[in-house]
Structure 1
Amino acid sequence: MAETEPVIKPKPRPIIRIGLFLISHSLLVSVVCCTAGIVALLLLPVLAKNTYVSENALMPGSARPMLTNDDASDGHKFLNRILNLDSKPINTGIEIPEVIAEHMMELGGEVSYHKFQPISNKFHPLHFFLGPDAGIIKENYSCSSYGINTVGIIRAPRGDGKEAIVMVTPYNSVRITMGEALSLGIAYSVFSLLSRVTWLAKDIIWLAADSKHGEYAAVAAWLRDYNTLSFGDLMLYQEMCDASTSPVHEMIQVKGDVISNGFRRAGTMAAALVIKVADSSPEFGNDVLNIYAEASNGQMPNLDLINIVNYLAVHGQGLQVRVEKIWSLLDSLWLNSLGKLLELLGTVVKSLNPQWKFGIPVSDYVEGCATLASSLYNQALGVPTGPHGAFRDYQVDAITMEMSPTLFSSSQRVLFLLRVGRLVEGVIRSVNNLLEKFHQSFFLYLLTSPSRFASVGVYMIAFALLIAPLPLVAAALFADASKLKTAKDEIPFKPAPLGEPVPIFTSWKWLYAAKSVLAVHLWGAIVTLLPYFLSQIPNSSPSINLLIWIVLSLLSLFFAYAVSGSFSFSSTNQPQINEWALLKSVTVAAGFIGLCLMSVINFATAEIGALLLVPMCLTVVPLRLDVKVSTMRAFLRGACNVLLVFVGFPPAAFLLLKGAIDGFDSVTFGDFWVWAELLWAWNSATYIYICNCLLGICLYELLCPSLDFLSVAFVLLISFRY
């Protein structure tokens, strides 16, 4: 008989061989990737680039400022009149809008009043994705409680009315402060100049926002009516109030037809500037300009808008520009030590090749890390840092410019109005040069200083390195758990002879794991909705609300566990390692998908979540398995698991972070409820991610993405169940 030739199996493709190699060495790859990801994150201040203006049409500083001392003096007279009104013994809040409208008309602007009602900020699940100004009117509404925005519009002599630039000056009509009066004086000086120039190609809108119900609420209400033909508020107002006796009606009757009772509009908004003046800052030797840019869910304006403001403020008016930073990090010992190491490394690299630029001074690195941490936190929080956030909801680039002058003396006010007015004039002139919306520069970036940034192509490297081990670990665990195990030994899968029982291929048990993960996600949805009912409790303190939230969540977890039993595979009491590995594999895969999806919605939230999630995914194992093994390695691993659970426990993590920043003397138990309330009141996607998505990963002893406050109770329940 002829010998049969051996069958030569084809070699797998190179990409498959690389994948199998990485899966087989998943532990080493995970350690290397996690370490590289953390190092890359710490190197972002070093890798940050200097800002630059991408759009050549902006041409900041190409023209000399036209704002004169006379314009600044007129602005000073205007703010003095506002302050004199506020000093009267009886102030109804109507006099200031009337004076603002009168001065707008004298400058030739088209003036109108905008009425809006206060908005409730209570958590409501049906309005969660509609924005914080979802039209929920506060209870006990009265005609005297509405706010009045004053709007003035200058039509551009060289424009066609299709585009506009907005100036916003928030002020409290009931009790105005010196800073708010100064911001009105700045806007009046610029408005006076722009009413006379001939180069204006875009309409100018001056919104004097009545902020007695909040700065954001006033701006958001006006934007909502500006972008939608909404008649619901007017009908509601006519039904509830007698228009013939309203103060706004009286003001319109006095001024005749000059002030419109209707809603006036200009063109599509190209950009918006919120002008604010804070308290004086004598600790600085010069006037300070603070820039706030973060909007809802981590949205940022086009970087060119910040660039032109920073360029004109520094090089045009000699102002000191700052962005928000975490001040406590400036005195961090480990951060200063790391900065010294990087500075020394940069010196060595430069000695090898002078063209290699690596390393920055210690002070710049520490300040860059403090600014980067603040930028990450504010974007991850998902809460706007000012009324400019209302514009980003309509895809309009906007920032808040908050001035902190050195002194408030009368002799310095005119000079202050002149400097800041010229800055606003220069920004408006640059935006006026644009032929289209901002699009050349970055929308995804992290600031390390007013003049340095890390683009999306740089900071995505750290995130990619952090989450890279998750699919490898999931595949390795799935490969191990999918092997068939018998009572004695492990045998390969093969078809059973006819008449014999067919062995169960255990890899199909991932369906049970997926069912368990889905069950916990549904439980997470219940936990997410509980604050809606708790917010109905009258006169309840944050500590009591948080305690009730925890108790109700635990009870719902116990009920779900007792009814469905979805958190277990086997009816035996012996821990089955292959089943645990399969469950962990599915959970790690779900965590990886959740992080990738969250990076599209809010990258900063995904970045911070990965820092807590990935170490847990790689180290946390069932506690009972470590308890049974009396070795030092098992003890250290169990202690590490407990530490990671504690750090990932949201109230503990939040309170530890707040204590490290503000001091532990100011930390209370109810602070976490206040923080969570801030998230859901502003409809931050981070709240949904913490309470629902990451909670679904909290299963069995796998606490890998445990950012939910029930993680500790859940790990104890599942650990001792087996």
Structure 2
Amino acid sequence: MAEREAPRTKQRPIVRLGIFFISHSLLFSVVCCTAGVLALLLLPVLAKNTYISENALMPGSGNPMLSSQDVPEANKLVKDVIALNSKSRGAGIERQRLIAQYMSDLGAEVNYHKFRPQAVQFHPLHFFSSPDSGITEQNVSCSSYGTNVVGIIRAPRGDGKEAIVLVTPYNSAKINQGEAFSLGIAYSVFSLLTRVTWLAKDIIWLVADSQHGEYAAVAAWLREYHTPVFTRLRTADAEICLEINNVHEVKESPIAERKIYDEFRRAGTMAAALVIKVVDKKEQFEDSLSIYAEASNGQMPNLDLINIVNYLAVHRQGLRAKVDKMWSVLDSKWLKILGELFESAGQVARSLNPQWKFGIPAADYVEGTATLASSLYNQALGVPTGPHGAFRDYQVDAITLEISSRASFDSKNRRNEFLLRCGRLIEGVIRSVNNLLEKFHQSFFLYLLTSPGKFVSVGVYMIAFALLVAPLPMVAASLYADANNLDSVQKDEPTSSTSVADEPGITLRSWKWINAAKKVFVVHLWGSVVSLFPYLIDQIPNCSPTRSFLLWVLFSTLSFLIMFVILASPFSHSFASPLHVGEWAILKSVTISVAFIGLCLMSVINFSTAEIGGLLIVPMCLLAHPLKLDLRDLSLKTFSRVSCNLVLGFIGFPPATFMILKGGFEGFSSIDVGDFWNWLESLWAWNSATYLFIGMVHLPCWLLCVHILFHHC
């Protein structure tokens, strides 16, 4: 009797779906990549209106208490600090004494914080941490010290465990009119808060000495605030300069002597921080408020903080709220055409069903895209857009408010009106934050802005990234399967062979995979070494940016040649010669897999970097194909692939990418080779994760794709 066949095990639907996608990887790649780019372009259309998530904030629920009677004293402070510019010597010290005296007269606790400038150095082990590492410059003169003035109001209803911080940067050497008005706005609010009874959080006013940089002054104070010092060893160096820069001589009366302290003063845990800056930009129509929120490595404050500022500025004080835009995008013709297409699609959708709220006006789409592009770029760059970034390194929600006036301050009434409106705005924000019983947590921390009142949440913008990188694992699996099938066909392995006969083929295929994995590993190791070269080049004195860039290229090339000699040794190819057919496919499969892992890891650290990097890496990895194979059978398809590979190979090289983007946005006449080095230097000085991504993911993937293009098939 014939032996019955064993019933086949039915595969699970998810397995069958995976096999289907792998077998149709080309179609899957085209559909997903197209959908990913389209989803990215649709983000301004899909943006939602902002809203207050935390009910306790209640912005605008109380009438402003700051009145016109509080403005004259603030106006007097503005005049006094500007008048000290006429002094040739000692104006900085006198200005610090003056500000401390104003604070002290209000009953605040006042102290001075002296700090030294920080050395900008490359720290390869300090990535993902604060760029201000505490390393000070050696042999600095006494005039290089900066002095912050700090005033603290103790809340009558508080327990001293929480605080709100106001920051006003100013140049102590020579203050300008905008910085003086920043001090005036903060002083008017500070004066009001000494009298109110509803205050439940301490108020810290930090007057940051920005002659060595706004960020450096704020970061130095924050480091001291969060690092209690129980000895005087840390301040010993600062005391050397006391006879030259002794600001403590401000004690001119017994009252002032009781309120100005020598030791560092602290309040509670910081609930939020506002950096106030007045800039001398003549607005065309109305007073405007620019909001800067990006911190290091794409970190953003809680969206509720931006929401309350935007609501109070627009609906209570009549200011025009703005966020940063990429102005070169606004003039793009193809973007305007795309906006008109989306607008037409929205009209058609509403005609079919009035409840479908798809599409926005073309002008709003262009402006939203310009804002979104700026938000993506600033987050991907990983460099803070203002001194508020120093607070985010300590997980404190902070933003910079840059206020500009539509008219000059020559008129007294105009000055008083400006101080009153801006002061009431700051009062309203502080009052809302004061209502919180816990830290900001209700709203979003991961978002992209398309306007001050519209945002794209992480659940929406991650769809574009997921669609973009989805083809990578499918194509990697398809290439690996095709390469193994090609080997089996060439060797004419019988299908009914025994397991012993199959064993050599399995072993050889395994070695082939290991050889490709070794190549990919060595190239990424080379990328790590290349990332450390700037630290060595930075030690060379008086080295121009152009020379530094050329040295970096030279060292990178030499290290690559050494790596190539190691890979080209007879030992490394001992298992490659019998399996030459399909070797490039295995190498491409491993390269795509590593690129997929690198992009996914980067999306966790900084989504914007992963998104922009994916737009460059994914097409390059998917289209990489040996040119020799395409040129053997030249057709329209192979010619198109060769052209795309050559273009992507050129564009994908990081320096070339930077030059093309800079030339497209600013004009090719302004391009300099040293600009790329300056850009890299800013990334590593701020410990941006984007620098690691370029050196350890982007550059190795580009080199491996070029290696596949020129593979000897």
TM-score of the alignment, normalized to the shorter chain, above 0.5: yes
Give the corresponding residue for 1:259.
260
**Deviation, structure 1 residue 488:** 4.6
Residue correspondence of structure 1 range 42-81 to structure 2 within 5 A: 42-81=41-80
The residue type equivalent to 1:299 in the other structure is Q
**Deviation, structure 1 residue 525:** 1.2
Partners of 2:474 and 2:576 lie apart in 1 by: 30
Give the corresponding residue for 1:482.
484
Give percent identity, aligned residues only. 60
Give the corresponding residue for 1:297.
297
Partners of 2:227 and 2:234 lie apart in 1 by: 16
**Deviation, structure 1 residue 629:** 3.2
Partners of 1:62 and 1:487 lie apart in 2 by: 77
Partners of 1:97 and 1:396 lie apart in 2 by: 27
Give the corresponding residue for 2:666.
662
The residue type equivalent to 1:293 in the other structure is A
Give the corresponding residue for 1:245.
243
* SS of match in other structure, 1:93: helix
Contact 1:372 1:447 in 2 (8 A): yes
Partners of 1:721 and 1:94 lie apart in 2 by: 71
**Deviation, structure 1 residue 594:** 0.7
Q: Does 1:387 align with 2:378?
A: no
Give the corresponding residue for 2:620.
616
Residue correspondence of structure 1 range 152-167 to structure 2 within 5 A: 152-167=151-166
Give the corresponding residue for 1:432.
434
* SS of match in other structure, 1:171: coil
Partners of 1:48 and 1:175 lie apart in 2 by: 44
The residue type equivalent to 1:302 in the other structure is N
- Give the aligned CA root-mean-square deviation in angstroms: 2.2
Partners of 1:290 and 1:659 lie apart in 2 by: 27
**Deviation, structure 1 residue 614:** 1.3
Partners of 1:629 and 1:382 lie apart in 2 by: 46
Q: Does 1:220 align with 2:215?
A: no
Q: How many residues are matched?
A: 706
* Among candidates 447, 453, 463, match of residue 445 of structure 1: 447
**Deviation, structure 1 residue 251:** 2.3
Deviates more, 1:571-580 or 1:616-625: 571-580
Give the corresponding residue for 2:269.
268
Give the corresponding residue for 1:644.
648
- Relative to structure 1, the CA distance from residue 130 to residue 463 in structure 2 (aligned partners, 3 Å threshold; closer, same or farther) is closer
- Relative to structure 1, the CA distance from residue 494 to residue 600 in structure 2 (aligned partners, 3 Å threshold; closer, same or farther) is farther
The residue type equivalent to 2:371 in the other structure is T
Give the corresponding residue for 1:553.
556
Partners of 1:631 and 1:338 lie apart in 2 by: 32
Partners of 1:497 and 1:431 lie apart in 2 by: 72
Contact 1:286 1:405 in 2 (8 A): yes
Deviates more, 1:506-515 or 1:67-76: 506-515
Give the corresponding residue for 1:711.
none
The residue type equivalent to 2:402 in the other structure is E
Unaligned runs of 5+ in 1: 704-713
**Deviation, structure 1 residue 692:** 1.2
Give the corresponding residue for 1:472.
474
Partners of 2:677 and 2:313 lie apart in 1 by: 40
Deviates more, 1:514-523 or 1:676-685: 514-523
Give the corresponding residue for 2:601.
597
**Deviation, structure 1 residue 698:** 3.6
1:524-576 per-position Cα deviation (integer Å, ceiling 9, x unaligned): 11100100111122222211111111111001100111134389756888993
Partners of 1:377 and 1:161 lie apart in 2 by: 39
Unaligned runs of 5+ in 2: none
1:6-59 per-position Cα deviation (integer Å, ceiling 9, x unaligned): 222111111111111111111101111111111111011111000000111000
- Relative to structure 1, the CA distance from residue 698 to residue 690 in structure 2 (aligned partners, 3 Å threshold; closer, same or farther) is same
- Relative to structure 1, the CA distance from residue 265 to residue 638 in structure 2 (aligned partners, 3 Å threshold; closer, same or farther) is same
Partners of 1:501 and 1:187 lie apart in 2 by: 78
**Deviation, structure 1 residue 407:** 2.2
Partners of 2:486 and 2:43 lie apart in 1 by: 47
Give the corresponding residue for 2:629.
625
Contact 1:483 1:490 in 2 (8 A): no
> So what's the TM-score if we normalise by structure 2?
0.95
Partners of 1:494 and 1:97 lie apart in 2 by: 90
**Deviation, structure 1 residue 328:** 1.2
> So what's the TM-score if we normalise by structure 1?
0.94
Give the corresponding residue for 2:677.
673
Give the corresponding residue for 2:527.
524
- Relative to structure 1, the CA distance from residue 126 to residue 351 in structure 2 (aligned partners, 3 Å threshold; closer, same or farther) is closer
**Deviation, structure 1 residue 73:** 1.5
Give the corresponding residue for 1:375.
375
Give the corresponding residue for 1:542.
545
1:474-493 per-position Cα deviation (integer Å, ceiling 9, x unaligned): 11111122337269544257
* SS of match in other structure, 1:611: helix
Contact 2:275 2:388 in 1 (8 A): yes
Give the corresponding residue for 2:12.
13
Contact 1:484 1:506 in 2 (8 A): no
Partners of 2:176 and 2:211 lie apart in 1 by: 12
Residue correspondence of structure 1 range 578-589 to structure 2 within 5 A: 578-589=582-593
Partners of 2:9 and 2:100 lie apart in 1 by: 83
Contact 1:484 1:492 in 2 (8 A): no
- Relative to structure 1, the CA distance from residue 11 to residue 492 in structure 2 (aligned partners, 3 Å threshold; closer, same or farther) is farther
**Deviation, structure 1 residue 240:** 6.5
- Relative to structure 1, the CA distance from residue 48 to residue 240 in structure 2 (aligned partners, 3 Å threshold; closer, same or farther) is closer
Partners of 1:546 and 1:499 lie apart in 2 by: 55
* Among candidates 604, 608, 611, match of residue 607 of structure 1: 611
1:89-133 per-position Cα deviation (integer Å, ceiling 9, x unaligned): 224521111111100000010001111110011223244454221
* SS of match in other structure, 2:236: helix
Partners of 2:674 and 2:578 lie apart in 1 by: 40
